[in-house]
Amino acid sequence: MPETTQFGGHEDEVYVDGALKPNTILLTRYKIIGILGGGGQGAVYNARDLNFPDAKRLVAIKEMHVQGSDAGQRASTVKTFQREANILATLSHPAIPKIYDSFEQNDRVYLVMEYINGSDLEALLSKTKTLPMKKILEWAVDLCDVLHYLHSHQPETIIFRDMKPANVMIDSLGKVRLIDFGIAKVFESGKKHTMIGTEGYSAPEQYKGNVTPLSDIYSLGATLHHVITRKDPRLEPPFSFSERPIEKLNEEVPSGLVGVIEKALEFEPQNRFQSCAEMKEALDQIRYGSANSQRGATNVQMNGSAALGSMESGNGEGTNFFDGIDDISPGIQEQWKFKAEDEIRSTPTTYRDYVFVSSYDSNVWALNADDGEFGWKFPTTAGIATSPVIDQEHGFIMVGSEDNTFYAVEHKSGRINWTYSTNGKIRSTARVAHGHVFFGSDDGKLYALVAQNGRYLWEYDMGSPVRTQPWVTNDIVICGCEDGELVALELSGEKKWSLRAKRAITSSPVVDLEGICYVGSFDGYLYAIQAESGYRMWRFRTGRPIVSSPVVDGNLVFIGVTDSQFYAVNTQTGKDKWRFSADAPIVGSAIVQGESVYFGDSKGNFYCLDKNDGKEKWRFKTQNGITSAPLIAHNRIYITSMDKTVYALPLVSS
């Protein structure tokens, strides 16, 4: 069952394999407008109901593919889908989307529902820095109300089983709507169910198949904890909410609300609220009551009026809830940023709880990954253009400087472990592999050292400055240099093969799982070469010199070029599948995550594109050029800019 991620506007459509095309008409009634979301088994479409020709009545249509030769599996798929339809058909609550129709057509089953113009809570968390506490409390009360409605449903109790931010829509009026009843189930006391739900939000007993209405209360507590602290429980150890105290992560939350959430998150079901009505009563006391709170008491109370202010549910004269929230913008907002003392040309790296970045102020900076707080800095004696790398075996941060020296420092303190001096500026980012570290220097040498202590192993004379990051396989080291030669060496440092481009190779080579090496050159070509033999398979011509490094994903290789074009090239044919025109030359490398590819340009624009067709999903603006690749870690995108700043953006693809 595809998860309904958003019933909102479709300016940034999601593309799903096998999806219906716009203008497709189902049952001679529903005209597909676009895709709202989807997954591997189907999609959710925005459509127009043609039975109302004089009015633009929009609906959401949920689809599931019914495929496979196994008749039992097909029947089970249809049964699962019909269960959701049957449950929704019996429900009538303001927070539950109305169901209009269900049908089967061309090996697909469809559910026609009310279209909700809004955004899910998970997306709101990604696109905002804060949400109004009084609205969070209002949503909590409304979610208690709709869950109580489900739990009190007659003749049979319904358990939602998948409460989480992605399944909570906030419509244009700022009201809660509960979506995706795909795993909701009629409650049968004493009967075990399958272990189903979402890790991090599911109650402890849900992992054992013992699901009850109290399991939904736990999941609601987990959802509220995530919304208020912005700590995603899916990224944390199970049932570890107590290790992330709410009041330490959000000083704005009233203490009584902390008590309500903690009670909902009790490990043992009998220690939680025993109904959503009871939890709602406690929340209403926070909204309107004046009694002092007693955290952990059976009857949780508090005086929340001072912290929450008035709790009017309306939005004044505005007609759209999102227009009234200052923190929400059409684009992406940084979660934190840190300013160094000079421009940053390097890609960040991460180890444990820190992000490390080097800058032209001569320093390596250690920053807390969650909030950007300064940890330490290590000074060299000249600017740093290379990116720091991690020796995970020993916990070293390694970086080369334009003071001709390569440094290995302790990740916790920045204390020097060892150094190695070359005869030229080091502008080649290192590669750690096989217990060794490989890097180049402007003295024309490629060096191999023992990572643990910096002991010299060998050097290879490339004949001109080496500014690429070497690529290391199980057998060879591949590196380029400024006179245009690409060289493959045995791990012993002996030459295996070489290939010469017409101009400098500053782009770093990459080798895919098929053993094909890709590299760009100042001659404007992207080369595909057999890594084992050095045989050139094809070359793809762009319009200007290539400085950035390629990135491979599946059967596509992506490369940004100084002609301001970003190319997706088929790895088999060497032909471009699509290209995207940026606003300025591209010298920084890209990264692929999920269905998106990310990169920056020399005007400071940072782009997120659909990797399948090159359609722009969003962009973020810095104040100067981006010359390096982004880093994706800790559920964030870290980017650096020549404006001296490190930015931490939420990891959101659309």
The hierarchical CATH code for the domain 119-324 is: 1.10.510.10
Report the mean per-residue pLDDT for the chain. Answer: 86
Assessment of whether the complete model's pTM goes beyond 0.75: no
Please check whether the two domains, 119-324 and 336-650, share a CATH topology: no
Extract the tokens encoding 446: 């490629």
Q: Rounded distance, CA 403 to CA 3, Å? A: 53
Work out the pLDDT band at 226, boundaries 50, 70, 90: very high
Q: Rounded distance, CA 26 to CA 560, Å? A: 41
Q: Rounded distance, CA 545 to CA 523, Å? A: 6
Residue-by-residue DSSP string for 328-386: --SS---SEEEE-SS---S--EEETTEEEEE-TTSEEEEEETTT--EEEEEE-SS---S
What is the structure's pLDDT at 391? 97
Residue pair 458/477 in contact (Cβ under 8 Å)? The answer is no
Work out the pLDDT band at 65, boundaries 50, 70, 90: confident
* Whether pLDDT at 319 is above 60: no
- How large is the average pLDDT for residues 12-21? 57
Domain boundaries, the chain: 25-114, 119-324, 336-650
Residue pair 157/187 in contact (Cβ under 8 Å)? The answer is yes
* Whether pLDDT at 203 is above 70: yes
pLDDT digits (tens, 9 = 90+) for 427-463: 999 999 999 999 999 999 999 999 999 999 999 999 9
Give the three-class secondary structure for 128: coil
What is the structure's pLDDT at 68? 56
* Whether pLDDT at 160 is above 70: yes
- How large is the average pLDDT for residues 9-34? 72
Burial 78-111 (b: 16+ CB within 10 A, else e): eeebebbbebbeebeeebbbebbbbeeeeebbbb
* Whether pLDDT at 73 is above 90: no
Q: Which residue has the tokens 């008035």?
A: 310
- How large is the average pLDDT for residues 575-601? 93
Q: Which residue has the tokens 């992406």?
A: 332
Residue pair 546/561 in contact (Cβ under 8 Å)? The answer is yes
Most confident region among 230-239, 294-303, 357-366 by mean pLDDT: 357-366
Contacts with 390 (C-beta within 8 Å, 6 or more apart), sequence order: 349, 350, 351, 356, 396, 397, 398, 411, 432
pLDDT digits (tens, 9 = 90+) for 509-537: 999 999 999 999 999 999 999 999 999 99
Q: Rounded distance, CA 116 to CA 377, Å? A: 49
What is the structure's pLDDT at 568? 96
Work out the pLDDT band at 393, boundaries 50, 70, 90: very high
pLDDT digits (tens, 9 = 90+) for 491-501: 999 999 999 99
The verdict on domain 25-114 having CATH code 3.30.200.20 is: yes
pLDDT top residue among 158 and 465: 465
**CB-neighbour burial class of residue 547 (10 A; exposed 0-12, middle 13-18, buried 19+):** buried
Backbone angles phi, psi at 477, to 5 degrees: -120, 130
- Domain 336-650 top-level CATH class: mainly beta
- How large is the average pLDDT for residues 97-125? 87
- How large is the average pLDDT for residues 379-391? 96
If residue 215 lies in a helix (H) or strand (E), which one and from where to where?
helix 213-229
Q: Which residue has the tokens 């059409």?
A: 330
- 643: alpha, beta or left, given left = phi > 0 and alpha = psi -120 to 50? alpha
Partners of 495 in beta bridges: 489
Q: Rounded distance, CA 434 to CA 446, Å? A: 16
**CB-neighbour burial class of residue 285 (10 A; exposed 0-12, middle 13-18, buried 19+):** buried
What is the structure's pLDDT at 324? 57
- The percentage of the chain sitting over the pLDDT mark of 90, rounded to a whole number, equals 63
- How large is the average pLDDT for residues 131-143? 93
Amino acid occupying residue 19: A
Q: Rounded distance, CA 169 to CA 166, Å? A: 7
Nearest-CA neighbor of 334 among 620, 115, 4? 620
Q: At CA 609, angle to CA 607 and CA 615, rounded to 5?
A: 120
